[in-house]
Amino acid sequence: MHYKDLIKKYPRYLGFGFLHTFFSSIGQTFLIALFLPHVRQVFHQSEASMGSYYGMVTLASAITLFFTGPLIDKVNLRLYSVAVGLMVAVGCIGIVLAPNLGLVIVSLYLIRHGGQALMSHTAFTTMSRYFTIARGKALGIAGLGIAVGEAILPLLVALMIGRQGWRLSYVVLAGCSLLIFLPLSLFLVNRNDDIQHPHISQSDSPLHSNQVELNWGRRQLLSNSYFWLLVPLLIVPPCLGTGFFYFQAHIAKSKGWSPELFASCFLSYGISSAAMSFLSGPWVDRWGGTKLLPFTLLPMIGAILSLLFIDHIVAGHLFMVWLGLSFGAVGNVRSSMWAEVYGRLHLGSIKSFASMVMVFSTALAPPIGGWLIDRGYTIPQLLWGCIWIVVGATVLALVARPPRLEGELSVSRT
């Protein structure tokens, strides 16, 4: 089934995925990082301390995801989506009204957990579960929401903060969550749609695959070496991506660019990420996410080398283009891999556990990066370290072998 036919047949469901990934931008580091310098100044925090608090918030989100993620396997999808949207809105309003640092931290947690963790989890779990043969294309369309958000929101929010202040900007984001996200979410999946029920059968759908699935749970996931060999590759994109975006001001300063100039490069990131998200869909449907996953980090090496060897602002655009190609592919490929290897019965539980590990890794980047910078490590030194991390994670993924159904020669594609 081609993209055109898929969109024509399932416009609301695909729109639901796109909506959630786009609004997940509110909780992503690339947007929160624009607010943190102002929050840090108001509450008199150092760079290292703010990074530590941000890491604590992200760690708390990762731990909570262990419990909130599997709920998507059990509760109505519309209810789950509404709860996530309200969480983000409350967090945005909370940080505006917070009289002290403690309430700021709680509000940041709500924004991070509702946005970065649960909105993305909702989108990719829903697309992976409902679509089977056309899973890659469905994930590609949903993933465009992240790319579009990364392309347009950093510059728009930076300009809004500059003109209206950070508090009013968060009020606007809260209003968008309440007045745009919630109504659209309920419209795109109405109360009569099968997609809202976690265990609904898709046997009558032309997109259904009759191949047998492993349908493993968390215990079986953890008892097999495949998952553990993939862990480095799974955590590198969120961890390093968080580091790049969180310390974007430091990167810009090291290259002699203004923060606004570097922020303009996000448009290149969004375009390349969107293009790769779209292009990778048919590749996933043809070859499978399991086979493609080990190669998804290779463009990141080109991104880092661009910053290391080019001082002109073109390096910023090249960095974002290569990074967008890597991140645009890894989201779709990874989401498809979970369903291909482990099945759909416990998909929310499997994905939420993996997401917990990945979100936990994002909590490490700000405090570790801040500590290394405070210790005198330069941005080029840190970038070289990132290259070796990417190479090591790729090698481990290449030697990993997925589990197989008993009596089968290979893992079933679902």
Which one, of 13, 43, 182, lies nearest residue 103 by Cα?
43
End-to-end CA distance of the chain: 15
- Supply the mean pLDDT for the chain: 86
**Tokens at residue 349, please?**
């539980």
* pLDDT tens per residue, range 381-401: 999 999 999 999 999 999 999
Say if CB 77 and CB 126 are below 8 A apart: yes
* Confidence bin at 1 (pLDDT 50/70/90): low
- 365, 237 in Cβ contact below 8 A? no
Amino acid at 221: L
Tokens at 308, concatenated: 């290391």
**Is 413 a residue whose pLDDT tops 70?**
no
Tokens for 97?
Answer: 């009204």
| Lowest pLDDT segment from 41-50, 96-105, 118-127 | 41-50
Return the SS3 of 90. helix
- How large is the average pLDDT for residues 149-168? 89
Q: Given this model, what pLDDT does residue 206 score?
A: 41
> pLDDT value at position 258?
84
pLDDT at 353: 86
pLDDT band at 94 (very low <50, low <70, confident <90, very high): very high
Length of the chain: 414
- Residues 1, 213, 116, 112, Cα dihedral to 10°: 160
pLDDT tens per residue, range 14-33: 999 999 999 999 999 889 98
CB neighbours of 8 closer than 8 A, spacing ≥ 6?
none
Which residues, in sequence order, are CB contacts of 274 under 8 Å at separation 6+? Answer: 144, 147, 148, 151, 324, 328
* pLDDT band, residue 202 (cuts 50/70/90): very low
CA distances from 350 to 16, 338, 345 (A): 21, 7, 10
Pick the CATH number of 11-189+216-399 from 1.10.260.40, 1.20.1250.20, 3.40.605.10, 3.40.640.10: 1.20.1250.20
Phi first, then psi, for residue 296 (nearest 5°) are: -75, -20
Which tokens sit at 27?
Answer: 């909780």
Please tell me what DSSP assigns to residue 101.
H
pLDDT given for residue 238 in this prediction:
86
Instruction: State the pLDDT at residue 199.
Output: 59
Nearest 5°: the CA angle 86, 89, 95 is: 135
Domain spans in the chain, listed from the N-terminal domain onward: 11-189+216-399
Say how many CA atoms lie within 13 Å of 235 toward its Cβ: 22
Closest CA to 7 of 17, 126, 336: 17
> What share of the chain has pLDDT > 70, as a percent?
93
Q: How far is CA 158 from CA 31, 167, 196, in A?
A: 9, 13, 36
